[in-house]
Amino acid sequence: MSEGNHGSETGQGPTGFGGPRIRFVNLGSDRMAQAFQMARGQPNWAVRLAVLTFLLVVGIPILLLLMTAGLAAFLVFMIISGFNWLLNLFQGSSKQDDGRRNVKVINRK
């Protein structure tokens, strides 16, 4: 699949049937590698130096911040999930009508 027509075409899927083609993209390391290759491919040494400096000063810190934010979000999710599990463990089973007030429950067969 070329860069000009990504995602909108149909073709042979993995099982041989027609369907959308799926392309998995790793945005972090692949984009950084492409940026470094683009910087190395510049014809002028000044432009090459400017692009590499920009990548080192801006690109890598942003990548590290995104990785740190992802790790922090994962840890917060795990801590809150564990806290919820402990609360449910010590509360025991709830009554059948917990949280229901002025609600008529219709039991369907």
Nearest to 37 by CA among 48, 53, 50: 48
Nearest to 39 by CA among 23, 58, 20: 58
pTM of the model: 0.45
| Contacts (Cβ under 8 Å, ≥6 apart) of 14 | none
Read off the pLDDT of residues 41-81 as tens digits, 9 standing for 90 and up.
777 888 778 878 888 888 888 889 999 999 999 999 999 99
17 or 68, greater pLDDT:
68
Read off the pLDDT of residues 71-105 as tens digits, 9 standing for 90 and up.
999 999 999 999 999 988 887 666 666 666 777 77
Residue 11 has pLDDT above 80, yes or no: no
Quote the pLDDT of residue 47: 79
Quote the pLDDT of residue 89: 86
Comparing 13-17, 22-26, 40-44, 61-65, which segment has the lowest mean pLDDT? 13-17
Q: Could you give the C-alpha distances from 64 to 26, 53, 83, 103, 104, in angstroms and in order? A: 15, 16, 28, 51, 54
Quote the pLDDT of residue 1: 47
Quote the pLDDT of residue 79: 97
